[in-house]
Amino acid sequence: MIGTRFAGSLLAVATLTAATACTASDQSARAKTPAAAVTSKHPTETVKPLLQQPLPNVKGKTFTSMVVDFPPTARAKPHRHGKAFVYAYVLEGTVRSKLAGKPVRTYRQGENWVERPGAHHVLTENTSRTERAKLLVVYVSNTGDRLKVDDPRS
């Protein structure tokens, strides 16, 4: 019951964040995450920070939201999100995703998934050769933790 309320609250906050991001471009509490650089034969994702704010009622935790943009055929390097709880929502396009130990899944606009703390994200890619894909990604993390750590050998 508590988990369902937490997930519902997180979804509501994520939706509100996405809806207000366009009008809140001058917020001083913006996340400071650099865009990913292109380092392979496939293009890679870019990141647009939306909001980063300590949770006032959960000491030591921070809420962060961002839009992750995948150009056609773009792939993210295999990575982890540390101890963060991650929620991803497909804003547009189609994304193929695989967590270690789980089957490959394809998510379309309007679909979503969660990643437990410590999950290994071995595949994230835009399936289209012509259209962009965009995700709204929300993290609940330990304050100060890095939100994405690429695998050292990728």
Mean local confidence (pLDDT), 81-103 = 97
Mean local confidence (pLDDT), 51-65 = 97
pLDDT-derived band at 26, boundaries 50, 70, 90? very low
Do residues 62 and 143 lie in contact, with contact meaning Cβ atoms separated by under 8 Å? yes
Mean local confidence (pLDDT), 92-105 = 97
101-144 pLDDT tens trace: 999 999 999 999 999 999 999 999 999 999 999 999 999 999 99
Say what the pLDDT of residue 33 is.
Answer: 41
Give me the chain's average pLDDT, please: 82
pTM: 0.74
**Stronger pLDDT, 40 or 124, i.e. the higher one:** 124
DSSP state of 78: S
Do residues 18 and 49 lie in contact, with contact meaning Cβ atoms separated by under 8 Å? no
**Stronger pLDDT, 151 or 15, i.e. the higher one:** 151
Taking residue 68's Cβ as centre, other Cβ atoms within 10 Å add up to: 22
Say what the pLDDT of residue 150 is.
Answer: 92
| Interatomic CA distance for residues 13 and 8, integer angstroms | 9
- Report the percentage of the chain scoring pLDDT > 70: 73
φ and ψ of 25, to 5 deg? -70, -15
Say what the pLDDT of residue 154 is.
Answer: 56
C-alpha to C-alpha distances, 73 to 1, 13, 35, 67, 125, nearest whole angstrom: 40, 30, 17, 17, 7
Q: Which helix H or strand E contains 97, and what residues bound it?
A: strand 94-99
